[in-house]
Amino acid sequence: MKDAGQYLEPAYLYADGSSIENLAELSATVKKYNCRNAIVHLGDVEGLEFEHELSIDRIKPVIDFPYGRGGVDVKDLEAEKAYGLGCVGMDVCVSLWAVLDGGFGIVEDEFNAVGRCCESEIKAIIQLPFLWVYAKDAIEPLLDVLVDAEVAVVKDWTTVMNFSKPVDVSLPARLAYLDYVRNLIDKKKLPLLVKIAGGVRADNAAEFFKHGADILGVGVPHVEGVYNALSKI
């Protein structure tokens, strides 16, 4: 695979914040491997841009992270803030509660609110591990609603085990739900890319691509290994 970095999105999303050293490492990694984007908390956008000289075009903040429970007002407020900082793309958490309750209109309203402030790619973090086990039938209508809201990418989850019920995030399970989503997108010709994030390593990255992933979210310490592994395929 040529230009493997163009398929990678390093992230720094820890709850205890981002130190100067962390952001410096993230910026250096994105530049060294020519990565697609950097994913950060909204509060780290300015530091990454001005202190560590990463182009704002490559900085994508997470919105209503990690639970997606803030509703239209929170998503709108955070998206407006990101837009004011110059961000042209955002990673937005779906309200899993709304999806489980059949509230697809709520989901569409929330993403339309983000879309009013976003001039480029919107990614939707859709909590696939939970839906795959407990609400598989909700996946297809959710994808349809996200397309209507002009979402460009669906990402599987927030990479934090924050569900009240057990979910399977083993490699076989993740490949199974990736196959399912990829087949739905291809069958219905939906204009969506698929991003897999969390637990992406040198020994499994190629498998995610073989099963239909378009983008991989990778922790900064693992970018080099994943990059080298993908460069061999």
Query: Is residue 49, in this structure, part of any structural domain at all?
Result: no
- The pLDDT assigned to 5 comes to 98
CATH number, domain with residue 177: 3.20.20.70
- The pLDDT assigned to 124 comes to 98
What mean pLDDT comes out for the span 134-157?
98
Query: Is residue 19, in this structure, part of any structural domain at all?
Result: no
Question: Is pLDDT above 90 for 110?
Answer: yes
Listing DSSP states for 196-214 in one string gives EESS--TTTHHHHHHTT-S
**Residue 6 neighbours by CB under 8 Å, 6+ apart:** 34, 35, 36
Query: Is residue 99, in this structure, part of any structural domain at all?
Result: yes
What mean pLDDT comes out for the span 147-153?
98
Residue 104's domain comprises: 61-214+221-230
Query: Is residue 103, in this structure, part of any structural domain at all?
Result: yes
- The pLDDT assigned to 108 comes to 98
Question: Is pLDDT above 80 for 18?
Answer: no
pLDDT per residue as tens digits for the range 71-98:
999 999 999 999 999 999 999 999 999 9
Which has the higher per-residue pLDDT, 15 or 113? 113
**Residue 142 neighbours by CB under 8 Å, 6+ apart:** 94, 99, 104, 107, 126, 131
- The pLDDT assigned to 74 comes to 98
- The pLDDT assigned to 37 comes to 98
How far apart are alpha carbons 21 and 79 in whole angstroms?
Answer: 26
Query: Which candidate, 91, 163, 103, places its Cα nearest to that of 133?
Result: 163
- The pLDDT assigned to 84 comes to 97
Instruction: Name residue, tokens 């395929």.
Output: 233
How many Cβ atoms from other residues are within 10 Å of residue 146's Cβ? 25
Question: Is pLDDT above 90 for 10?
Answer: yes
What mean pLDDT comes out for the span 158-182?
93
Query: Is residue 13, in this structure, part of any structural domain at all?
Result: no
Please tell me whether residue 145 adopts helix, strand or coil conformation.
helix
Question: Is pLDDT above 90 for 119?
Answer: no
Query: Is residue 156, in this structure, part of any structural domain at all?
Result: yes
Query: Is residue 32, in this structure, part of any structural domain at all?
Result: no
| Contact predicate 222/200, CB 8 Å | yes
Listing DSSP states for 154-168 in one string gives EE---SS---SS---
How far apart are alpha carbons 53 and 84 in whole angstroms?
Answer: 18
Residue 19 binned pLDDT confidence (cut-offs 50, 70, 90):
confident
- Whole-number Cα distances in Å, 34 to 22, 45, 128, 190: 18, 18, 28, 28
The total of structural domains in the chain comes to 1
How far apart are alpha carbons 36 and 48 in whole angstroms?
Answer: 15
Instruction: Name residue, tokens 């779906």.
Output: 94
Look up the pTM and report it.
0.95
How many Cβ atoms from other residues are within 10 Å of residue 4's Cβ? 22
Query: Is residue 73, in this structure, part of any structural domain at all?
Result: yes
Ranges 144-153, 162-171, 211-220: which has the least confidence: 162-171
Q: Which two tokens stand for residue 120?
A: 């480029």
